Structure 1
Amino acid sequence: MRWSLLRPVVLASPVLLTATMAAGAEGHKSAGPSEFLLIVQIVLLIAVGRGLGEIMQRLGQPSVMGELLAGILLGPSLFGWVWPEAQHAIFPKTPEQKAMIDGIAQFGILLLLLLTGMETDLKLVRRVGKAAIAISIAGIVVPFACGFALGEFLPDALLPNPQQRLVASLFMGTALSISSVKIVAVVVREMNFMRRNVGQIIVATAVIDDTIGWIIIAIIFSLASQGTLEFGAIAKAVLGTLAFLAVSFTVGRWLVFQLIRWANDTLVSAAPVITVILLLMSTMALITHLIGVHTVLGAFVAGILVGESPILTRQIDERLRGLISSFFMPVFFGLAGLSADLSVLRDPNLLLLTAVLVVIASVGKFGGAFVGGTMGGLSTRESLALASGMNARGSTEVIIATIGLSMGVLSQNLFTMIVTMAIVTTMAMPPMLRATLTRLPPSKDEEARLEREEFEKRGFVANLERMLLTVDESANATFAAHVTGLLGGARGLPITVLHIGRQAQQQEQKRGEDESHEAVVKKAAEVVGKSTEEAVGHVDVTTRARRARLGEAIGEEAKKGFDLVLVGVDKVTATSDRFDRRVEDIAAEFQGALAIVAGKGNHLKDPMPASFNILVPVSGSGVSRRGAEVAVALAQAASGSLRVIYVATTRDKGVRRAASRALIQEEGVLKDASALAARYDVDITTTLRSNTAPEAAILREIKATCVDLVVMGVDRVQAEHLSFGSVADAVIRQSRVSVLLVSSGESHRPPDKES
């Protein structure tokens, strides 16, 4: 274990030695800025920062602490103290050379705030909004007042410009009052407390803290740039910030979503969505700069809007996180550590002031958060956990201190003191939070909610991000549009409608706006919004017409990241035992989840029914569970009922043990289906049929009951043509009511008849 912890440091030693020799040789060649020296600096910061970050994570600390410590070790605090000539050769203080890596670090700040914004869950804030806002206000006001008071009593020698003491005091108050949402979220997530009530309140409070903090920093930046307390400039900054936020979270939210969708669906170059996101971030950062506030606010808000986009959020997060974590974070935090000279703490006065700063910051934040938690209705243990979590400053504090240093508001010594405070409070936070959270057992209501959310996390419907609806001009296409709107309306999923008929555009124009497939989708989504309180009730619909061969058109759409393709065409099955050629072409080009809609009877006369009576055959397999999820979602959206049928086909009737196992399985499958329906308040009836063929039992159940829709989860069977097995084929051809087949997208061999 000891060797595994020391290995990153040992491996970094040759890099440091090689870099030192190369930097010394380069220094003799030229006195101007050197690209070679820039690369050496980046290599060192990444190698040492990532190595120490690995060690910190194994010790239960966030990796950002290792990256910050890497800068401190490579800076004047250690490396410059042990070998000053080498340290100055690698990290010279010439303005030209320093500006090169500073530019990377400044762009890194924007990317860090973009990532922080993407991790900001506004739904979580709204869910615990009242308590979180009360706690956040108390948790900010108390430490802010303490920090401001400390700034007013600081010696003039610690201020770069004593005439601007007000700005420095405001900076100190902000530095002591803001928590690091990134550090808090990481620790809470690592402890599996992210979905716990107290965990949600902690993270939501940190989010509000962060948001308020960046607004305060933006205003202070405007104040610092003016040099004096000019109410006109402050009013401009405040009103500009409010206007920027108002536009961003109304028109901006829609615009960001449309741009991301357009880039993903239209551009063919590599990583177009990432390019658009970086341009959005930079544009919003420039806008905040033009209105007189700091660029970090624009980057943070851009991250929130990108994170709220319902398209490709997982892929975007993974790609951006890799780039930022592996490159920009080690460079930025390492450079922040380089700027902190801990050797100045050898001065007893500065050391004492730093200790006072740490105490005031900890007591102020801990006390303010604890009081806020008590006022917000939390128990004593919950308030202690909240106060422990909110005391971590981490990356947010370092960014604020770096901005203050670059603006000339903070002196070098004051910057070092704030960075030291950030390190101490952040390293103390994880063990304190773990100790308090482990003493908080969940209540019964909380356990029920956690079970439901854990189920949804693994579920199919809950993880859908966008759907593709392929339709022609038929009544079945209208029925498929209605089903698609019901599925998408509950979560506000974006839906693309692809018209595959030969005369699709002409037919759509004849239908009129109120009768088009797009209108049907939106009407169904609005029905969902009225039927359930938590439903979104709005979907964004994009329309496309087929301009190429059907297979090519579906192949192009398949590249755009759809989770589910729904097929609604006039003719679903052919005269023989095969599906229609168009259905087979779609299934051949799209290998993901597929839903085939076969409207029959009344649903062709009235393709937009007010409710459904749904029959769901289940077998206990994953794909049948997927069908059950879709059925429950439709029943909930349309205020319908659900009937679940399980067909037992135990062949070894003479063996008592086999019969016993079958009975246990039957009970378990029906119990799971009932639990699924109960989670969403859907009426359910369960039926067991034994010693009969599944297709015969299902068709008999359809005739004997008043169901009007059969939803079946099916697997594709490996065959020369599209097939979902004999049971599904029989049901979709012989059923007198509508059928919805939900395929997993994976092909399986047909089961052995003897098994």
Structure 2
Amino acid sequence: MILLLAAAGLRLVLPSLAHAAGPAGASGPSEALFISQVLVLIVVGRLLGEAMQRVGQPAVMGQLIGGILLGPSVFGALAPDWQHALFPPVKEQKAMIDAVSQLGIMLLLLLTGMETDLGLVRKVKRAAFSVSVAGVAVPFACGFALGETLPDAMLPRPELRLITSLFLGTALSISSVKIVAMVVREMNFLRRNIGQVIVASAIIDDTIGWIIIALTFGIALHGQFELVSLAKSLAGTFVFLAVSLTIGRRLVFLAIRWANDTFVSDMPVISVILVITGVMALITNAIGVHTVLGAFVAGVLVGQSPILTRHIEEELRGLIVALFMPVFFGLAGLSADLTILKSPSIAMLTAGLVLIASIGKFGGAFVGGWFGGLSRGESVALGCGMNARGSTEVIVASIGLSMGALSNDLFTMIVAMAVLTTMAMPPMLRWALRRLPLTPEEAERIEREAFEAQGFVPQLERLLVAADESPSSKLASRVAGLLAGPRGLPVTVVRVDPAREQRAVGPEAGVEDAVKKAAASAQDGAEQDAVLLDVDVTTRTQPAVGAEAVAAEAKNGYDLLIEGLEPVVSRRGGLHRRVSEITAVFNGPVALVSARGTHHEEPLRGELNILVAVTGTEVSRRGAEVALALARSHRCPLTALYVPGAHNNRARRRRFRALRGQNEAILKDIVQLGDRFGVQVHTAVRVNMSAEEAILRQARLGGHTLVVLGVSKRPGDVVSFGHVAGVLLEEIDRSLLLVASGAPATP
């Protein structure tokens, strides 16, 4: 059906396109023909990609098969005149769409790098490295040996047999991390131990593969193996990777943040990312290795940027998936001529190539899993999962073809191998994974990680602190550091003190130091395998003051505003007008901090003993999450107090026994939430009193130094957080942290 629709459309446009192209391209390259080529590749790739996904195969296989169908293998065999009219073998015309394809390679590697989770590799490093080393070495040796034994007639340039052998070895050894991750994620195995090992091993495979390709390109530039040139390429690659993963990571983050916070035009971050990718690709080209390594490493660094990662990936992915992927993989399919398989010798050689690739990869991954301490069933699953070549193999083969290291026949054989191994992998991996039962330890960890991933605190990417010179400002900075430390979230501090112009020395350094010290203390207690990033703290000096300063900075995109200002309460009751105005201009969640008791004297050193009030509502749960995150980072005690409601009147007290089951369920939920955060939660219930009285009494009797309460913004001339929060702001003698939802609630 798809081919019939495509043929019908082509019948309408091809005559005019053929006229536009002229005889043998005499009139030069045609823009209309170029646009038609792109449209056909996009439409066919989309339709076949959709069909592949519906039968459990990756969409990229549909795009590749679409190119094969449009090429000499099918369309060219059935209607050669039409096929040549749409894709004429004219150098100038071909160069136009090849340029899009080459740009597509760079952007595909950028996206692949962004999806590379180095934290996952660190978690399962022993097994992943064992599997990757064996899983790359064995098939690489097989492919290299095959290249050395091929007849000269199969080689594009027999004198460059070494280059061809290196490309064959690389083509047989790399797994497609995109397809592996797709199948593992589809089967909900991404959080399973074996799923993490499979994906981490594919990530390392990819990284090793691009380094090998880059070095092979360096050798190819010299036309032969030269120890001096290879040493230069190796040294240059090592220095490039070392600088990129250290200094470069911070420079990329600073560039992304600068673009986001400085430019007012649309999508400035995307422009900066494309510039970074291009510059790093040019650097790798300058040191004598392929540009794909620079694009891949740029993607890794962009993916590690602690701000705007989801937003960036969504914007980039749309363009890459919709345009560049179908064009690149479609052209790769067009370059493959499966009619060569009519030759018995070529067909047997292709079958041998598929067999060698599958056995080599399966055997290497199986042995690596065994040495990595995995069971036989897990090693079998590894061997099945790592056998997918997919998009990675096609990119490698395309580079080899463009460099003259692979002939068209070898390129077609590799593409056929990539298609067959990739389409065989999903059912094989599903079969192997179904045979692996879930262990109790895995079940507990999976439940915890899945819950945290859907929570409020794990979704934070960037924090904003509104500060003055008060103790509340220092305590707010401490809270920000404890929240930012475990994941290296960037923190921005905005001065809101209207009298700052009269002071020679402001509190910025003190506030910044407080954030960094709290973040460092939170990281000291982090898990051993956690990937810890430095917390970047920036102080802004806005031309405006107060609410205007916060509003100007908030436009740059923040997930949580932490306010530490004094006075918090006005003389007539309620929030102070400055606090109210700042709270009102921030559209997202707000954490209002008021330092009292011991924290008023020592906001940075006073002990934390946290009391969080819970009611079973969503806002209450958000407050509990923040309290648990603070307790985990500071390793301090936490008590959850159940309060039935804002006004605990006599009717509610008479119904308390009937509500006991609900009370127990709410507290049990908080205790389970604490288990997932790794925090032991003590519980308390106080009856026969209002919620505010219960909180005040428990705070005194329990010796708590910080009370956390989830609240909602209430609209009005002055922002309000409700009756209970208002009473606590007026009467409590301990530090108070109010965690408010983003949108105002209905009064």
- Between the two proteins, what is the percent identity of the paired residues? 56
2:725 pairs with 715, 719, 728, which one?
A: 728
Corresponding residue number in structure 2 for 1:358 = 354
Report the Cα distance in structure 2 between the residues aligned to 1:678 and 1:501, rounded to whole angstroms. Answer: 40
Report the Cα distance in structure 2 between the residues aligned to 1:353 and 1:537, rounded to whole angstroms. Answer: 49
SS of the residue corresponding to residue 551 of structure 1 reads helix
Report the Cα distance in structure 2 between the residues aligned to 1:19 and 1:496, rounded to whole angstroms. Answer: 56
Corresponding residue number in structure 2 for 1:484 = 480
1:416 aligns with 2:409: no
Corresponding residue number in structure 2 for 1:719 = 716
For the structure 1 residues 732 and 10, does the alpha-carbon distance in structure 2 shift closer, same or farther, using more than 3 Å as the test?
Answer: farther
Q: Mean Cα displacement is larger for which, 531-540 or 519-528?
A: 531-540
Corresponding residue number in structure 2 for 1:199 = 195
- In the alignment, residue 526 of structure 1 is paired with which amino acid? A
1:15 aligns with 2:12: no
- In the alignment, residue 686 of structure 2 is paired with which amino acid? R
- In the alignment, residue 462 of structure 2 is paired with which amino acid? R
Report the Cα distance in structure 2 between the residues aligned to 1:655 and 1:562, rounded to whole angstroms. Answer: 42
- In the alignment, residue 66 of structure 1 is paired with which amino acid? G
Counterpart mapping for 1:56-75 below 5 A: 56-75=52-71
1:102 aligns with 2:98: yes
Corresponding residue number in structure 2 for 1:432 = 428
Counterpart mapping for 1:232-271 below 5 A: 232-271=228-267
The Cα of 1:12 is off from its aligned counterpart by: 3.5
The Cα of 1:654 is off from its aligned counterpart by: 9.8
Corresponding residue number in structure 1 for 2:382 = 386
The Cα of 1:526 is off from its aligned counterpart by: 1.7
Report the Cα distance in structure 2 between the residues aligned to 1:551 and 1:610, rounded to whole angstroms. Answer: 29
1:190 pairs with 168, 178, 186, which one?
A: 186
The Cα of 1:422 is off from its aligned counterpart by: 0.3
The Cα of 1:477 is off from its aligned counterpart by: 1.1
Aligned 8 A contact 1:529 1:537 in 2:
no
SS of the residue corresponding to residue 710 of structure 1 reads strand
TM-score, length-scaled by structure 1? 0.95
1:708 aligns with 2:705: yes
SS of the residue corresponding to residue 711 of structure 1 reads strand
Aligned 8 A contact 1:461 1:630 in 2:
yes
1:517 pairs with 506, 511, 517, which one?
A: 511
Aligned 8 A contact 2:468 2:507 in 1:
no
Report the Cα distance in structure 2 between the residues aligned to 1:525 and 1:537, rounded to whole angstroms. Answer: 10
Q: Mean Cα displacement is larger for which, 108-117 or 93-102?
A: 93-102
Q: Deviations over 1:464-519 (max 9, x none)?
A: 10100001122221221122112211221100000011233664726584xx2111
The Cα of 1:552 is off from its aligned counterpart by: 3.1
The Cα of 1:412 is off from its aligned counterpart by: 0.6
Report the Cα distance in structure 2 between the residues aligned to 1:399 and 1:198, rounded to whole angstroms. Answer: 27
Corresponding residue number in structure 2 for 1:176 = 172
Report the Cα distance in structure 1 between the residues aligned to 2:274 and 2:711, rounded to whole angstroms. Answer: 41
Report the Cα distance in structure 2 between the residues aligned to 1:744 and 1:11, rounded to whole angstroms. Answer: 52
Corresponding residue number in structure 1 for 2:27 = 31
SS of the residue corresponding to residue 203 of structure 1 reads helix
Corresponding residue number in structure 1 for 2:679 = 682
Structure 2: stretches of 5+ with no match in the other structure: none
Report the Cα distance in structure 2 between the residues aligned to 1:165 and 1:661, rounded to whole angstroms. Answer: 83
Q: Deviations over 1:45-78 (max 9, x none)?
A: 0010111000000010000000001111111111
- In the alignment, residue 543 of structure 1 is paired with which amino acid? T
Report the Cα distance in structure 2 between the residues aligned to 1:199 and 1:554, rounded to whole angstroms. Answer: 44
SS of the residue corresponding to residue 490 of structure 1 reads helix
Report the Cα distance in structure 2 between the residues aligned to 1:654 and 1:498, rounded to whole angstroms. Answer: 44
Q: Deviations over 1:219-277 (max 9, x none)?
A: 11111111111111111111100010000001000100100010111111110000000
Aligned 8 A contact 2:497 2:545 in 1:
no
- In the alignment, residue 53 of structure 1 is paired with which amino acid? G
- In the alignment, residue 23 of structure 1 is paired with which amino acid? L
Corresponding residue number in structure 2 for 1:140 = 136
1:221 aligns with 2:243: no
1:671 aligns with 2:668: yes
Report the Cα distance in structure 2 between the residues aligned to 1:54 and 1:605, rounded to whole angstroms. Answer: 64
Corresponding residue number in structure 2 for 1:621 = 617
Aligned 8 A contact 1:124 1:204 in 2:
yes
SS of the residue corresponding to residue 712 of structure 2 reads strand
The Cα of 1:681 is off from its aligned counterpart by: 3.7
1:465 aligns with 2:461: yes
- In the alignment, residue 517 of structure 1 is paired with which amino acid? V
The Cα of 1:684 is off from its aligned counterpart by: 2.7
SS of the residue corresponding to residue 640 of structure 2 reads strand
1:295 aligns with 2:267: no
Counterpart mapping for 1:320-719 below 5 A: 320-504=316-500, 507=503, 509=505, 513=509, 516-534=510-528, 536=532, 538-648=534-644, 662-719=659-716
TM-score, length-scaled by structure 2? 0.96
Q: Mean Cα displacement is larger for which, 130-139 or 658-667?
A: 658-667
Report the Cα distance in structure 2 between the residues aligned to 1:49 and 1:277, rounded to whole angstroms. Answer: 27
Aligned 8 A contact 1:223 1:233 in 2:
yes
SS of the residue corresponding to residue 617 of structure 1 reads strand
1:128 pairs with 121, 124, 131, which one?
A: 124
Report the Cα distance in structure 1 between the residues aligned to 2:504 and 2:448, rounded to whole angstroms. Answer: 41
1:55 pairs with 51, 55, 61, which one?
A: 51
Aligned 8 A contact 1:19 1:90 in 2:
no
Aligned 8 A contact 2:495 2:545 in 1:
no
Aligned 8 A contact 1:370 1:384 in 2:
yes
Structure 1: stretches of 5+ with no match in the other structure: 1-5, 751-755
Q: Deviations over 1:151-202 (max 9, x none)?
A: 1111211101111111111111110011011111111111111111100000
Aligned 8 A contact 1:530 1:537 in 2:
no
Aligned 8 A contact 2:21 2:29 in 1:
no
SS of the residue corresponding to residue 505 of structure 2 reads helix
For the structure 1 residues 446 and 506, does the alpha-carbon distance in structure 2 shift closer, same or farther, using more than 3 Å as the test?
Answer: farther
Report the Cα distance in structure 1 between the residues aligned to 2:303 and 2:508, rounded to whole angstroms. Answer: 36
Aligned 8 A contact 1:164 1:228 in 2:
yes
Aligned 8 A contact 1:592 1:744 in 2:
yes
Report the Cα distance in structure 1 between the residues aligned to 2:336 and 2:629, rounded to whole angstroms. Answer: 56
Report the Cα distance in structure 1 between the residues aligned to 2:502 and 2:94, rounded to whole angstroms. Answer: 64
Report the Cα distance in structure 2 between the residues aligned to 1:126 and 1:159, rounded to whole angstroms. Answer: 41
Report the Cα distance in structure 2 between the residues aligned to 1:565 and 1:162, rounded to whole angstroms. Answer: 65
Corresponding residue number in structure 2 for 1:3 = none
For the structure 1 residues 19 and 426, does the alpha-carbon distance in structure 2 shift closer, same or farther, using more than 3 Å as the test?
Answer: farther
Report the Cα distance in structure 1 between the residues aligned to 2:395 and 2:652, rounded to whole angstroms. Answer: 74
Q: Deviations over 1:516-537 (max 9, x none)?
A: 2111111111222233345737
The Cα of 1:578 is off from its aligned counterpart by: 2.6
Corresponding residue number in structure 2 for 1:753 = none
- In the alignment, residue 57 of structure 1 is paired with which amino acid? Q
Corresponding residue number in structure 2 for 1:747 = 744
Q: Deviations over 1:669-688 (max 9, x none)?
A: 11111122233343432111
